[in-house]
Structures are given as C-alpha cells and as structure tokens.
Amino acid sequence: MKLTISDDASKWFAEELGLQKGDGLKFFGKGYGTSTIQPGFSLGMLVDNNPDRPVAETEKDGIKYYVNYGDAWYFFGYDLEVTLNHETNEPQYNYIKQED
C-alpha cells in the first residue's frame, strides 16, 4: 500500500489539528459511515505518535502519516492519496486501485 499526502493537505492538517514536527497522524477504517471501498465503514484519522507495524507511511513537514498493520484491511487493494480540495478547504481522500 502507498500513502501520499500533498503539501497543501499536510499544511491543512498541521494548522487544523495543531500538529508539529515529530507528531504522527494515523489513518484507519472506522465502523460506521460510508466509503467507496468499504460499505458500512468510513475513513478515520487520529493524532497518534506511536505507529504499530505501519504498512504505509510517509513524512511531510516533519509529521509522520501512516496506516498500521491492524488497519490494512480497510485499504485492501487500494492506495490512499490525500489532497486538499481548494473549494471546500478540506482534505480530499482519493482511493487509488492498485494494479494487479
């Protein structure tokens, strides 16, 4: 799995969540809501500075973004690309189907 965070999205997370260099942000599947890849589940995020066997991680502006092994089921077969929607000024989560 590949995790990509755009520069604009990283700046948004830092400003909105008060993230600083050395902090971490975990992405995971949560048990309600809806998504295009897992019916009945949606994407969650949590400030967490302690990755647990990450299956995907990237660092921007000194902030580590990651998906833990225990949350890989939600993203199975997809990469996650996070960009900033400039019309809504909110993150946009793009699931990219992995090639076989």
Nearest to 27 by CA among 13, 15, 11: 13
What whole-number percentage of the chain has pLDDT above 90? 87
pLDDT in the model for residue 81: 98
Q: Give this prediction's pTM.
A: 0.92
Judged on CB neighbours under 10 Å (0-12, 13-18, 19+), 21 is exposed
Token pair for 74: 């939600």
In order of their start, the domains of the chain are 3-97 (2.60.300.12)
Q: Which residue has the higher pLDDT, 99 or 27?
A: 27
Q: What is the pLDDT of residues 67-85, one digit of tens each?
A: 999 999 999 999 999 999 9
Tell me the C-alpha distance between 28 and 8, whole Å: 21
Q: Is 50 helix (H, G, I), strand (E, B) or coil?
A: coil
